[in-house]
């Protein structure tokens, strides 16, 4: 495993427990699946300060651990193809789970992306599914499909620590709602993925499991809070996985954040006050192609998730069709307070031109219309009302990870003019005042859709691509969509060429430093979003955009 950048105390009271947990994780990888010494001779170490590109290196193929057939199953099969061949028996569930378990084990050794693994249990489940298929039955629409999950999902008999010492040693006694639903659909669950301490930063690092590395460049972060999931999917250690935000922007994968509560979120491990949900969290899929996202969403929503989770929205998945070939896209403006790194801005501009070249309309929105700054102020102020996670960290005696400390420093620099009156009030009055401010931002966006008659909006996924470890500070271009509760689809689009012009940060601006040489080759992306409960339209329009951009070629263009 990769060591965390957070240096542990010499003799912390929890140190032995962490050491034992890490050993259990190491022992869970079968000896035959461990990378040989001659492979490591091709790798630069230490991993987290070296520029290893495990995608370009074809690390999985060179490891010699997977057979040619297993490489083909994991490398070249989409979810649609896998489901078809699993249903017909061309691929058995046992073959599929063995291949992806091996690949996940390799991804873990290279990027430290996993927490819990269930390889033997998953193989037993696969054997049961194969017996069922041989008897002429399928378990459900996801029969035999391997699916990975973020660590926050609970599975009976294992831990869901979410990288927090406070939860170390606590075994789950019930499954998360989505776990039960996926099992009933025929899926095979075989691993969980790493997260940041408290799940409130974009650097997936914690004192239990350590830091997840970006497989495109191990000196860069994998994103968060679903960074482990992003790294795993990027290395094709899973055909599809479930996160709870959009880590896809750092690791070059597709990701979908649905409207809250369309995917059941019940009984997940959290570290916030369970009675305080001013901005509902949501779960969604990550994959290496856009079609897989829709397959997952349709299967889960069509399974009546309300039967598993009382907080889920009981609305069936709709079949949509466009009555017009020409769509109207808004383009989110660069916010003066949160400027974009040059390659990110170039990728967004290029995407808009390519969409327009296919006959669609492009409407460039203004910063005042988009209100990214106002939304960020409201969102952060609401999150800051709950200090449960910080108290859990402090009570366990573990140190905060560096990216949390950086985020706290950055937030102090953000002017809070829009919410200044609310933040001077008592807690209950502050919540009420911030709720009014939130409603103002939501209402202004509702009017924006009508004024411009928009079908969808494109925007940057973040101000930056993946950056050096512990330097990803504040996520305004995703946070505002959480505040609005809009569905959004991340689409990979090109790479950082490492040749951008000088980037100067002005006084009052919040953005990570940009060093082109450090970030060369880092995946870029855009996101497409629609208004709440238009998840079906969001995915369908995202497919249109993906086609305009070349179908998700993750290597070209370079900006």
Tokens representing residue 172 in the block: 């789950």
Q: What is the Cα–Cα distance from 419 to 483, expressed in whole angstroms?
A: 14
Give me the active site residues, please: 150, 225, 249
CA–CA separation, 500 and 310 (whole Å): 50
Q: Which two structure tokens, joined as six digits, stand for 39?
A: 């492979």
Helix/strand/coil (H/E/C) assignment for every residue in 122-153: HHHHHHHHHHHHHCCCCCCCCCCCEEEEECCC
Secondary structure element (H or E) that encloses residue 172, with its range: none
Angle between helices 535-548 and 290-302 (to 10 degrees): 170
Taking the C-alpha atoms of residue 427 and residue 434, their distance in angstroms, rounded to an integer, is 10
User: Please, is 134 exposed, middle or buried when counting C-beta atoms within 10 Å of its C-beta (0-12, 13-18, 19+)?
Assistant: exposed
DSSP 365-383: --HHHH-HHHHHHHHHHHH
Helix axes 68-76, 93-111, angle to 10 degrees: 80
Tell me the H-state helices in 284-401: 290-302, 342-357, 367-370, 372-383, 388-396
- Distance, in Å, from the CA atom of 6 to the CA atom of 210, rounded to the nearest integer, reads 8
């Amino acid at each position: 495993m990769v060591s965390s950048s957070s240096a542990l105390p010499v003799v912390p009271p929890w140190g032995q427990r962490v050491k034992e947990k890490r050993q259990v994780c190491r022992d869970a990888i079968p000896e035959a699946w461990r990378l040989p010494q001659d492979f490591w001779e091709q790798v630069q170490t230490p991993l987290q300060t070296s520029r290893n590109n495990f995608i370009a290196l074809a690390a999985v193929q060179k490891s010699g651990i997977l057979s040619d057939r297993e490489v083909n199953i994991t490398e070249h099969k989409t979810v649609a193809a896998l489901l078809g061949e699993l249903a017909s028996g061309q691929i058995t569930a046992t073959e599929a789970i063995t291949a992806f378990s091996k690949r996940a084990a390799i991804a873990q050794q290279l990027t430290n992306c996993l927490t819990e693994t269930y390889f033997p249990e998953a193989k037993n489940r696969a054997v049961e599914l194969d017996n069922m298929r041989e008897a002429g039955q399928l378990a459900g629409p996801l029969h035999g499909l391997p699916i990975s999950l973020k660590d926050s999902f609970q599975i009976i008999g294992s831990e869901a620590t979410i990288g927090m010492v406070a939860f170390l040693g606590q075994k789950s006694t019930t499954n998360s709602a989505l776990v039960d639903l996926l099992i009933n659909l025929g899926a095979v669950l075989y691993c969980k993925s790493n997260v940041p301490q408290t799940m409130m930063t974009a650097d997936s690092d914690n004192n239990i499991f350590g830091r997840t590395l970006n497989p495109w460049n191990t000196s860069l972060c994998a994103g968060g809070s679903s960074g482990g999931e992003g790294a795993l999917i990027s290395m094709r250690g899973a055909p599809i996985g479930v996160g709870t935000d959009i880590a896809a922007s750092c690791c070059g994968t597709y990701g979908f954040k649905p409207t809250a509560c369309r995917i059941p979120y019940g009984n997940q491990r959290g570290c916030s006050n369970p009675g305080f949900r001013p901005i509902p969290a949501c779960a969604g899929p990550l994959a290496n192609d856009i079609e897989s996202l829709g397959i997952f969403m349709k299967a889960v929503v069509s399974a009546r998730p309300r039967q598993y989770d009382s907080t889920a929205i009981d609305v069936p998945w709709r079949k949509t069709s466009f009555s017009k070939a020409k769509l109207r896209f808004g383009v989110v403006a660069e916010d003066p307070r949160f400027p974009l790194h040059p390659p990110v801005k170039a990728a967004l501009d290029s995407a808009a031109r390519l969409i327009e070249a296919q006959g669609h309309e492009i409407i460039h929105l203004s910063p005042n219309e988009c209100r990214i700054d106002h939304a960020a102020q409201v969102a952060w102020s609401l999150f800051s009302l709950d200090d449960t996670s910080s108290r859990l960290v402090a009570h366990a005696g573990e140190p905060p990870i560096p990216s949390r400390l950086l985020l706290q420093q950055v937030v102090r620099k953000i002017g809070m003019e829009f919410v200044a009156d609310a933040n001077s009030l008592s807690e209950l009055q502050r919540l009420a005042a911030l709720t009014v401010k939130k409603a103002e931002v939501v209402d202004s966006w509702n009017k924006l859709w009508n004024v411009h008659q928009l079908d969808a909006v494109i925007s940057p996924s973040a101000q930056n691509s993946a950056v050096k470890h512990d330097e990803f500070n504040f996520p305004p271009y995703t946070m505002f969509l959480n505040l609005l509760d809009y569905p959004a689809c991340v689409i990979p689009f090109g790479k950082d060429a490492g040749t951008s012009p000088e980037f100067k940060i002005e006084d009052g601006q919040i953005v990570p430093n940009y060093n082109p040489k450090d970030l060369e080759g880092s995946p870029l992306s855009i996101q497409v979003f629609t208004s709440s409960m238009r998840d079906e339209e969001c995915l369908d329009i995202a497919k249109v955009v993906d086609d305009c951009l070349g179908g998700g070629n993750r290597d070209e263009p370079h900006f």
